[in-house]
Structure 1
Amino acid sequence: MAYEIPVTQARAELADLINRVVYGGERVVVTRHGKPLVALVSAADLERLEGLEEEGTAAEEQVISSVSSIGSATSVVRGGSQRFGIAAEHRGPGDPRA
């Protein structure tokens, strides 16, 4: 569970908050009007998060590659063979067509 603190209070206690994160292993969420604004996490936590991000990207690329290769495969239907294609397109966040 993260420790939440309003931004006005966080300004006054920044050094203490940094110590809580670095030495206490805590995660601090700075809020504005009760809504999460930013989080203070240790450098080790950040590295783990970035590693998970990279793993997710690699997994997405593998799925796209697999779907693309299926599109070139052939399927056998009773009474003969017929070619089926699967069209897939990856649309990332911010793509106006999404």
Structure 2
Amino acid sequence: MAYEIPVTQARAELAELINRVVYGGERVVVTRHGKPLVALVSAADLQRLEESETGADDQVISTVSAVRPSASAAGERRRFGIAAEHRRPEGGGRSPGR
């Protein structure tokens, strides 16, 4: 669980908050009017987050390719980095209510 602090208080205690994150391993969520605004995390946490995002994108692309193999479309998906495609529902009509 992250430590939450209002933005006005965070301004006054920024150096202390940085120390809590870097040396204490804490995660700090800065709030405005009780709603999360930003988070302070260590550089190591940020690196792990960015690596997991990249890995998830690669996994989606390989999963889509495995589910819908198509010789001509596969090359276009790689060329343009497309991970999925839209197809109309059976019947080709618009959904009710649109």
TM-score clears 0.5: yes
Q: Give the 5 Å matches for 1:3-14.
A: 3-14=3-14
Q: Which residue of 2 aligns with 1:35?
A: 35
Deviation of the 1:67 alpha carbon:
2.5
Letter aligned with residue 7 of structure 1: V
Deviation of the 1:68 alpha carbon:
2.8
- Normalised to the residue count of structure 2, the TM-score between the two structures is 0.71
**In angstroms, what is the RMSD of aligned CA positions?**
1.5
Is the strand fraction higher in 1 or 2?
A: 1
Q: Which runs of 5+ in 1 are unaligned?
A: 73-87, 91-98
Q: Which residue of 2 aligns with 1:53?
A: 53
What is the aligned length? 74
| Matches of 1:64 and 1:32, distance apart in 2 | 40
- Normalised to the residue count of structure 1, the TM-score between the two structures is 0.71
Deviation of the 1:4 alpha carbon:
0.2
Deviant stretches of 4+, over 3 Å: none
